[in-house]
Chains A and B, each alone.
Chain A
Amino acid sequence: MPGASPTRIPTALTQGTVTKGGIGESTLRPDGTLKVTGEFAYASDLWHEDMLWGCTLRSPYPHAEIRSVDVSEALKLPGVYSVMTHDDLPATTHFGLEIHDQPVLAKDRVRYHGEAVAIVAADHPETARRAAAKIRVEYAELPPVHDEDSATGPGAPVLHPGRDDHHAPHVTHPNIVHRQPIVRGDVAAAKARADVVVRGEYEVGMQDQAFLGPESGLAVPAEDGGIDLYIATQWLHVDRDQLAPVLGLPQDKVRLTLSGVGGAFGAREDLSMQAHACLLAMATGKPVKIVYNRYESFFGHVHRHPAKLTYEHGASRDGKLLYMTCRIVLDGGAYASSSPAVVGNAVSLGAGPYEVDNVDMEALALYTNNPPCGAMRGFGAVQACFAYEAQMDRLAAELGMDPVELRQRNAMSQGSLMPTGQEVDSPAPVAEILRRVKAMPMPPERQWESSQSSGAAGGSTGVDVRALPGGLSNTTHGEGVVRGVGYAVGIKNVGFSEGFDDYSTARVRLEVAGGEPVAVVHTAMAEVGQGGVTVHAQIARTELGVSGVSILPADTQVGSAGSTSASRQTYMTGGAVKKACEAVREKAVRLGREKFAGHHPAWVSGGELLLEGGKVVTGDGEVLAALADVLGDEVIDEELEFRHRPTERLDLETGQGFGHVQYSFAAHRAVVEVDTELGLVKVVELACAQDVGKAINPLSTIGQIQGGTTQGLGLAVMEEILVDPGGKVRNPSFTDYLIPTILDTPAIPVDVLELADEHAPYGLRGVGEAPTLSSTPAVVAAIRNATGLALNRVPVRPEHLTDTR
């Protein structure tokens, strides 16, 4: 068993690698050493003496009435400590990010395949699984709702009767979670003027975030009757806010600490095992750990909304967009999750980064008996981007124009208006990033011939099959292989929108330790891999002029940092760290003035004093005092909140309003080679240009862009959760749900622009999501270019390319 320590819980998640450098430098991750030595404590690595293992029993049916639940056989199994069902819940029974419509454990009805029905705690994970299998649940199957027709047609079963959420009054059917139109200008008049009209119907499959570290956490009952939860999540405080009522505890007795997080991408925004582990810990009085395996993980979190999109664009002969219309139907699945916000994003970003004065748009999300869908990187904007970029290519073809030139002719720029009427009031270099990706050198043709062949690579002399579609399957040596090139560009919002009070908190302490000034940064920011901990240390070093920065573990003992999503954390919690550092700096300088006023006239002249290199210096760089001497035994400690400028709700009928904080733009050029006989695709290169405002850490910035690009590639050619018409998930494993391997992923050259947004800290622009948008349509455009096929659905599969369905 593990060594002397009774627990293996996160205490030093961010320590180990000594890092240097302020903003704009590619400093290294402070958690890097722990992560490469295997010492970093991920949620699934947590261990506590005497702990139990939790397990979840899930519904095998997408829609059924629960007639009875019998747990007696499960309880008899030696090693089982507790079995809980809905009837055992002590307080509030439902949770949800916005609408509390999801039961902690299903009561009398299950609404999706994989819904949690009962939970077990036992002394071995296999015992817990066997006990769960002994629970007898009697179901009576109900007809499933699986698409718009079955959800809103006559006689459709209402999935959530008696809705009283704030979207209920304005939806046209109770199985619609939320609907948002945007109407602007005069589409009918513009249509009469249009020389060319293109219309298309598009479909986006259900993508999974597929983070590598499955859902996990450890709940430890505390002596004060509260609970300590060590958890992999994206937002500690919103988890706590949902947990406390479910546990029947005051918020201050539900204490969360971030454990190591193995990726997120939106899938950790909703609760998964949090409430279950806490409930079992409270029921047994013992620590309870729950770790999902990959199979359960596919059922344990929301996915990207599958979408059906209908688009129409009209343009003049010279390629100027006159109008566009769209209807975007998102499948929200059984529970609301973040569907309302995804609807708002899909429609408000649905026209893409283009100027178009006349629009008639709508997006809606359905309640169905499919798996619940919610946040995934790109959040509604991904689905729309696939459709509007396909439309732009079709329009270019109709007009006989170069597709990049058509995009540039209609590209928005600073000062352009969104369909919502909101002015884009910071740089929007859409035409420029397109120019840049187009100008990048093309990858050489027929690289399988130029590559060296070796025995391991297979194939005949002079052919490296690893560079061909089909790879080591050795399906072609170049016969039937056609190259294609495609372009796409996208627009994503940054931060929480539509009037949400979006803020982050940071606490910064400055003190002398070992004779040197040291900054200690404490936030609740969920480090999920993106590198927020690296950036916080950089900001503290820049703002306070110290080399020693300590990043404390994230927990709920400090104010909320908001969610690690919406590309917002460097902007928001980075902004909060900057603000707290500025307040600390001001106090340090004041302290210096009090102590050393008589030593140098600059102390009292009123000029700006700075902290640099551990010293207080004048604006001209003259050293006034060592910061350590200024501080002495004093500790300066500031906890402050940072807010971005307010946004407002979109009008429910016109969709007009100042809905978003900031916009982010990326463009891709994809080069693919397609084995046209077998329908196999090799993406040869996926070049990206993106404006990031300011690259706070260039190494991490490029890492975000390459990672986002690759997830877009996955959606283009391989990733989809298959749900049959009966609502059952068919491929919940990494054997059947494929994500890109290193062989599937091409070179990803990145061109980073830094055009400052004056509204944002350091002028930065959220980075993480925009590249996930344009990657998918660029790859599909390249496949269309190679094959001449229409390809209105992603992921593109071999059967779509060979017409063998």
Chain B
Amino acid sequence: MRVTFTVNGRRHEADDVWEGESLLYVLRERMGLPGSKNACEQGECGSCTVRLDGESVCACLVAAGQVEGRDVVTVEGLADYARQRAEAASAGGTAAESASVSTSAADEQRWAAAPAADGVPLSPVQEAFIDAGAVQCGFCTPGLLVAADELIERNARPSDADIREALSGNLCRCTGYEKILDAVRLAAARTDHAEAPGDGNGPGPHSGHGPAQGEVV
């Protein structure tokens, strides 16, 4: 069969797709997008996490035929996706949920002082994963990035418990997760600051609403 859907903002078409093929197989083997990883093919490890019409899903559990006409974001498109979201937010404002963020301002500065990747545009979670040492073998990283980005999108100031709950479907075997927590705290703090430049004293509680229109850089 032929399957047509949007991946990272571009229309893709795949021919001769066998009915048993998953979205993950079509992305990796037919569309040249191997960033989403296959580590269990059972929806247990989260390495293939992608956004499907905005929802986080395991691409291995979605039949390719189900994606016809729909919209997929993979790790390859995450930087663009995050940039467009930030631009849309700056145009329209976002709602920031109130919760405690456990990264201190001092922590953020320490990490921010680390050299950032030169020349390659990355999303805040991608940069934070590098800076915080959350990447070792990196096989779980694409799925974790998509899941972490989705968390910060709906909960700008996640608590540690929120982070653990949101990422509990993503297995990592190398890091022991501590640096992943660091990375998500860091990404949330950076994103929060970027969207609220008036709040320069670190991640204290917000008033419950996002920054007013026009405040955002």
Please list the residues of chain A having a beta carbon within 8 angstroms of any beta carbon in chain B: 1-3, 8, 16-20, 26, 28-29, 31-33, 35-42, 44-45, 47, 124, 126, 209-214, 260-265, 291, 293-294, 451-452, 454, 456-457, 464, 466-467, 472, 528-531, 699-700, 702-703, 706-711, 733-735, 739-743, 745, 747-748
A734 contacts B165, CB within 8 Å?
no
**Nearest chain-A residue to B121 (Cβ)?**
A37
Interface centre among B131, B145, B164, B173 (most CB of A within 10 A): B173
What chain B residues lie within 8 Å of A18 (beta carbons)?
Answer: 115, 117-118
B76 contacts A37, CB within 8 Å?
yes
B34 contacts A45, CB within 8 Å?
yes
Q: Give bound CA distance, A456 to B99, whole Å.
A: 13
A28 in contact with B161 given A1-B32, A3-B32, A735-B42 (CB within 8 Å): no
What chain B residues lie within 8 Å of A291 (beta carbons)?
Answer: 38
B18 contacts A2, CB within 8 Å?
no
B138 contacts A452, CB within 8 Å?
no
What chain B residues lie within 8 Å of A293 (beta carbons)?
Answer: 38, 40-41
**Nearest chain-A residue to B132 (Cβ)?**
A699
CB distance from B101 to the nearest CB of A (A): 12
> Ordered nearest first, which 10 A-B pairs have the shortest CB separation?
A38-B35, A529-B137, A262-B139, A35-B138, A706-B176, A2-B32, A710-B176, A734-B44, A45-B34, A529-B136
A707 contacts B176, CB within 8 Å?
yes
A748 in contact with B174 given A261-B137, A472-B165 (CB within 8 Å): no
CB distance from B78 to the nearest CB of A (A): 8
Interface residues on B, range: 35 or more
- Which of B45, B115, B140, B142 touches A28 (beta carbons < 8 Å)? B115
- Which of A213, A457, A702, A747 touches B39 (beta carbons < 8 Å)? A213
Contact of B172 with A by CB under 8 A: yes
CB distance from B21 to the nearest CB of A (A): 8
What chain B residues lie within 8 Å of A707 (beta carbons)?
Answer: 136, 173-176
A210 contacts B136, CB within 8 Å?
no
Q: Give bound CA distance, A263 to B34, whole Å.
A: 17
Main secondary structure of the interface of B (DSSP, over half): loop
Chain B, range 1-41, C-beta contacts under 8 Å to A: 18, 20, 28-30, 32-41
Contact of B122 with A by CB under 8 A: yes
What chain B residues lie within 8 Å of A31 (beta carbons)?
Answer: 138
> A212-B171, A214-B39 provided; 19 other pairs, C-beta below 8 A?
A16-B117, A18-B117, A32-B135, A36-B122, A38-B34, A42-B37, A42-B139, A47-B34, A263-B173, A264-B137, A291-B38, A452-B99, A700-B133, A706-B177, A710-B175, A710-B176, A733-B42, A742-B172, A742-B180
B161 contacts A451, CB within 8 Å?
yes
B75 contacts A37, CB within 8 Å?
yes
Q: Give bound CA distance, A293 to B39, whole Å.
A: 7
- Which of B20, B120, B159 touches A33 (beta carbons < 8 Å)? B120
What chain B residues lie within 8 Å of A39 (beta carbons)?
Answer: 35, 76
What chain B residues lie within 8 Å of A711 (beta carbons)?
Answer: 173
A29 contacts B137, CB within 8 Å?
no
B170 contacts A742, CB within 8 Å?
yes
A734 in contact with B40 given A26-B114, A263-B139 (CB within 8 Å): yes
CB distance from B159 to the nearest CB of A (A): 6
Q: List, sorted by A's number, 5 A–B pairs whose CB atoms are closer than 8 Å.
A: A35-B138, A39-B76, A212-B39, A451-B161, A710-B177
What chain A residues lie within 8 Å of B28 (beta carbons)?
Answer: 45
Q: Give bound CA distance, A708 to B176, whole Å.
A: 7
CB distance from A666 to the nearest CB of B (A): 13
Contact of B56 with A by CB under 8 A: no
Chain B, range 122-172, C-beta contacts under 8 Å to A: 122, 126-127, 129-131, 133, 135-142, 145, 159, 161-165, 167-172
Q: Give bound CA distance, A211 to B28, whole Å.
A: 20
A126 in contact with B18 given A734-B40, A735-B42 (CB within 8 Å): yes
Contact of B79 with A by CB under 8 A: yes
A743 contacts B164, CB within 8 Å?
yes
B135 contacts A212, CB within 8 Å?
no
B30 contacts A212, CB within 8 Å?
no
Q: Give bound CA distance, A711 to B174, whole Å.
A: 9
**Nearest chain-B residue to A747 (Cβ)?**
B178
B172 contacts A212, CB within 8 Å?
yes
Q: Give bound CA distance, A39 to B75, whole Å.
A: 9
A466 in contact with B142 given A38-B74, A706-B179, A733-B40 (CB within 8 Å): no
B75 contacts A703, CB within 8 Å?
no
Contact of B100 with A by CB under 8 A: yes
Contact of B181 with A by CB under 8 A: yes
A212 contacts B165, CB within 8 Å?
no
What chain B residues lie within 8 Å of A1 (beta carbons)?
Answer: 30, 32
**Nearest chain-A residue to B181 (Cβ)?**
A742
Q: Give bound CA distance, A791 to B42, whole Å.
A: 33
A294 in contact with B41 given A28-B131, A33-B117, A45-B28 (CB within 8 Å): yes
Q: Give bound CA distance, A700 to B175, whole Å.
A: 10
CB distance from A709 to the nearest CB of B (A): 6
What chain B residues lie within 8 Å of A700 (beta carbons)?
Answer: 133
Q: Give bound CA distance, A65 to B178, whole Å.
A: 49
- Which of A210, A214, A529 touches B138 (beta carbons < 8 Å)? A529
A126 contacts B20, CB within 8 Å?
yes
CB distance from A44 to the nearest CB of B (A): 7
Q: Give bound CA distance, A1 to B177, whole Å.
A: 35
CB distance from B43 to the nearest CB of A (A): 9
**Nearest chain-B residue to A5 (Cβ)?**
B32
CB distance from A155 to the nearest CB of B (A): 42
What chain A residues lie within 8 Å of B129 (beta carbons)?
Answer: 32, 36
What chain B residues lie within 8 Å of A530 (beta carbons)?
Answer: 136
Write out, one digit per residue, whether chain B residues 55-67 have a CB within 8 A of any chain A CB (1) or not (0): 0000000000000
What chain A residues lie within 8 Å of B161 (beta carbons)?
Answer: 451-452, 457, 464, 466-467
Q: Give bound CA distance, A452 to B39, whole Å.
A: 34
CB distance from B83 to the nearest CB of A (A): 14
A709 contacts B176, CB within 8 Å?
yes
B114 contacts A452, CB within 8 Å?
no
Write out, one digit per residue, whether chain B residues 69-83 have a CB within 8 A of any chain A CB (1) or not (0): 000001110010000
Q: Give bound CA distance, A606 to B3, whole Å.
A: 74
What chain B residues lie within 8 Å of A126 (beta carbons)?
Answer: 18, 20
A294 contacts B40, CB within 8 Å?
yes
A36 contacts B176, CB within 8 Å?
no
B175 contacts A29, CB within 8 Å?
no
A36 in contact with B135 given A17-B117, A28-B115, A706-B179 (CB within 8 Å): yes
Contact of B94 with A by CB under 8 A: no
- Which of A210, A264, A741 touches B168 (beta carbons < 8 Å)? A741
CB distance from B39 to the nearest CB of A (A): 5
Q: Give bound CA distance, A501 to B38, whole Å.
A: 38
Interface centre among A2, A33, A467 (most CB of B within 10 A): A33
A263 in contact with B130 given A38-B75, A742-B180, A748-B176 (CB within 8 Å): no
Q: Give bound CA distance, A210 to B171, whole Å.
A: 10
Q: Give bound CA distance, A209 to B127, whole Å.
A: 29
What chain B residues lie within 8 Å of A529 (beta carbons)?
Answer: 136-139, 174
What chain A residues lie within 8 Å of B122 (beta carbons)?
Answer: 33, 36-37
**Nearest chain-B residue to A261 (Cβ)?**
B137
Q: Give bound CA distance, A619 to B44, whole Å.
A: 58
Interface centre among A20, A212, A451 (most CB of B within 10 A): A212
What chain A residues lie within 8 Å of B75 (beta carbons)?
Answer: 36-38
Contact of B103 with A by CB under 8 A: no
Q: Give bound CA distance, A293 to B45, whole Å.
A: 13
A703 contacts B35, CB within 8 Å?
no
What chain B residues lie within 8 Å of A214 (beta carbons)?
Answer: 38-39
A294 contacts B171, CB within 8 Å?
no
What chain A residues lie within 8 Å of B175 (beta carbons)?
Answer: 703, 706-707, 710
CB distance from B140 to the nearest CB of A (A): 5
B136 contacts A703, CB within 8 Å?
yes
**Nearest chain-B residue to A749 (Cβ)?**
B178
- Which of A28, A457, A740, A745 touches B114 (beta carbons < 8 Å)? A28
Q: Give bound CA distance, A741 to B41, whole Å.
A: 17
- Which of B30, B169, B178 touches A706 (beta carbons < 8 Å)? B178
CB distance from A32 to the nearest CB of B (A): 4
